[in-house]
Amino acid sequence: MNPVPNMPDSQQGIRLGSCLQLLVNTLIYRVGRAVIMFIQMLSLPLVARIGRAVGGLVFHLDARHRRVALKNLTMCFGWEKSSEEISQIAHENFRRIGENYLCMVKTAGMCFEELKHHLEFSGFEKLQQKGDKEPALNVVAAIGHFGNFELYSRIQDIRPDLQGATTYRALKHPAMNRLMQSLRGQNGCLFFERRTQGRKLRELLNRGGTLLGLLVDQNSFGLRSPFLGHDCNTSLAPAVLALRYNCQLFSIICHRVELAKWRLEVGEQIPTHQSGIPRSSQDIMRDVNRELETTVRRDPANWFWVHRRWKEAERTRPTSDPVAAIPSA
């Protein structure tokens, strides 16, 4: 590339750097698209098996995330499970993560007629039904990193009366972010970047008839609340939005049924009012955490243990027996 005449060296360097960055981003995007197209050509069960094999290999190679998973599992279950059991759960967790991530790529390109043989729905009759003369209400779904969690967007395929929506945080790398967005929203579910598109989300909720899914199982400032016996930062967003826009509030979980098969299950409604008076956001989110705790205990390998959920509590023990405080599944 020839320098531009009469352009200062600093500007030429910036221009060259921008061109190289654009070239790298384009290359990453095209390679990524080729990989996505190849995965989407394979059958879903084969993709799931490849993902499990890759996840099992990563368990042995990725020492940092393996330590995080083992530390989290030991902190939560160390007094009721042996180290061998914890290691087995962690190993299966990595296989599940590999299976789910590759299957996300495959299922994103599947129409509902193809996907419905691999997906079950349970409890969706609990969600509000829009009457002919009734105003369209909203539903807030507290969701988490369970199973193939990108399948939450497929709820709209069985409940077209509700406009599916969720929030996301854009990736720093533009090519990777573009790839992720190319996989999302193909069935009409709306995705809002949580830092820049809050106004558009509020406009949607003001119109009514929205099913808004919010991930609530990551470290997020808002509330210090117990989860599996240890305090952690918990987002208040589901409770705040449910109260502000008069929404029904439920947990919705993606369970792995078997290889390349999942079930989306609606929990019991979480009350936002008591005797006609709004409950506090803190109390509502403690109920949400209890719902997720029960789900984790039903199938520990189905959750995302490689995330540092308890950053401030990793070296502490609970003040009481966490098992006794968790309701039975």
User: For the residues 123-145, what does the mean pLDDT come to?
Assistant: 80
Over residues 181-209, the pLDDT tens digits come to 777 766 788 999 988 999 999 999 999 99
CA–CA separation, 3 and 19 (whole Å): 13
Q: Which residues contact 21 (CB under 8 A, 6 or more apart)?
A: none
Q: Tokens 């029960």 belong to which residue? A: 294
Please write down the HEC assignment for all residues of the chain: CCCCCCCCHHHHHHHHHHHHHHHHHHHHHHHHHHHHHHHHHCCHHHHHHHHHHHHHHHHHHCHHHHHHHHHHHHHHHCCCCCHHHHHHHHHHHHHHHHHHHHHHHHHHCCCHHHHHHHEEEECHHHCCCCCCCCCCCCEEEEECCCCCHHHHHHHHHCCCCCEEEEEECCCCCHHHHHHHHHHCCCCCCEEEECCCCHHHHHHHHHHCCEEEEEECCCCCCCEEEEECCEEEEECCHHHHHHHHCCCEEEEEEEEEEECCEEEEEECCCCCCEECCEECCHHHHHHHHHHHHHHHHHHCHHHCCCCCCCCCCCCCCCCCCCCCCCCCCC
pLDDT of residue 7: 57
Q: Lowest-confidence range among 5-14, 44-53, 102-111?
A: 5-14
For the chain, the average pLDDT equals: 86
| Residue 305 confidence (pLDDT) above 60 | yes
What's the whole-model pTM score? 0.83
> What are the backbone angles phi and psi of residue 223, rounded to the nearest 5°?
-150, 135
User: Region 36-47: what's the mean pLDDT?
Assistant: 95
Quick: pLDDT tens for 78-115. 999 999 999 999 999 999 999 999 999 999 989 999 99
- Average pLDDT, integer, range 134-142: 83
